[in-house]
Amino acid sequence: MAALKDVSFDIPENQICGFIGPNGAGKTTLFSLITGAVRPSAGQVHFRGKDVTGMSSAALVKRGVARTHQVVRPFKAMSVLENVQVAVHYGRHAVTRTAVAREHAMEALKLVGLDRKANVLASAISLGEQKRLEVARALATAPELLLLDEICGGLTGSETGAMMELLHRIREGGTTIMYVEHDMKAIMAVCDRITVLNFGQKLAEGKPEEVQNDASVIEAYLGKSTFRDKKRG
């Protein structure tokens, strides 16, 4: 069985594009295909008019495509700051000077509110902080397209609010965002448009309010409290 089938879409520049769908719908797989972690058996990925299908993740980062991982992947034996510094070195601008990389890394950590943990080992911070570290590492590569896969897990309501503000700021800085999150309230509030996946296929797409009122989407989420909560509140 294919994890994704006939899924086709465009991502307009400088928008926040949400991707939602039940567990196993194919959201993370989609991100893996776009960022070169998995090669598609059919189909193409185009970025800025160029066919980038099958390009390595490292090469895509240099072109400006960066992601976070749903299952966090820090270098555990390194400090929080060192983790981000590595990303600066291997990022789009391929910064070589250590002092400059440190400076950029600290800026990224400040953006996600982790600067006070800069010198702590990455293995010693909470899961919520590790999620934010993923965001800082991706940001530190200076992406033009940033793919965020469930970054709000373990965050409190106000921390999630701060993260949504950060997404707006990142977008204002000229970065396009693809965003996967199960928190419907957050995703409906922050996204310009939303694509719904179900069983590896595109179920619907449009503005948040359009998607929310789509009969097939409501059906796919039937029994899931997330949507009903959102509709109440």
Selection from ligand ATP, Mg ion, none that 158 binds (CB < 5 to 8 A by kind) is: none
Question: Which partner in Mg ion, ligand ATP, none is near 3 (CB below 5 to 8 A by kind)?
Answer: ligand ATP
Minimum gap (Å) between residue 54 Cβ and ligand ATP? 15
3-state secondary structure of 188: helix
Q: Are 226 and 51 in contact (CB under 8 A)?
A: no
Q: 14 touches which of Mg ion, ligand ATP, none (CB within 5 to 8 A by kind)?
A: none
Burial of residue 79 (CB within 10 Å: 0-12, 13-18, 19+) is: middle
* Residue 208 partner contact from ligand ATP, Mg ion, none using kind-dependent CB cut-offs of 5 to 8 Å: none
Query: Residue 3 or residue 88: which is nearer to Mg ion going by CB?
Result: 3
Q: Which is nearer to ligand ATP, 24 or 54 (CB)?
A: 24
Helix and strand numbers, DSSP H then E, in the chain: 10, 8
From ligand ATP, Mg ion, none, interface partner of 36 (C-beta below 5 to 8 A by class): none
Q: Which is nearer to Mg ion, 53 or 70 (CB)?
A: 70
Could you tell which of Mg ion, ligand ATP, none binds residue 25, using a CB distance below 5 to 8 A set by kind? ligand ATP
Closest contact distance (angstroms) between CB of 152 and Mg ion is: 13
* DSSP-derived secondary structure for 114-148: -GGGTTSBGGGS-HHHHHHHHHHHHHTT--SEEEE
Residue 15 identity: Q
How many CB atoms are closer than 10 A to CB 34?
Answer: 21
Nearest distance, CB of residue 146 and ligand ATP, angstroms: 17
CB atoms under 10 Å from CB of 157, counted, come to 11
109, 114, 118, 124: CA torsion to nearest 10: -130
How far apart CA 185 and CA 229 sit, in angstroms, is 9
- Least spacing, CB of residue 4 vs ligand ATP, in Å: 8
Q: Closer to ligand ATP by CB, 129 or 181: give it.
A: 181
**Strands, sheet with 176-180, edge to edge from the N-terminal-most edge strand:** 65-67, 145-149, 176-180, 16-20, 193-198, 201-206
Interface with ligand ATP by CB under 6 A: which residues? 3, 21, 23-29, 38, 70
Question: Footprint of Mg ion on residues 55-74 (CB under 5 A)?
Answer: 70
Q: Judged by CB under 5 A, which of 28, 32, 83, 198 binds Mg ion? A: 28
In whole angstroms, how close is the CB of 127 to ligand ATP at the nearest point? 15
| Interface contacts to Mg ion, rule CB under 5 A | 27-28, 70
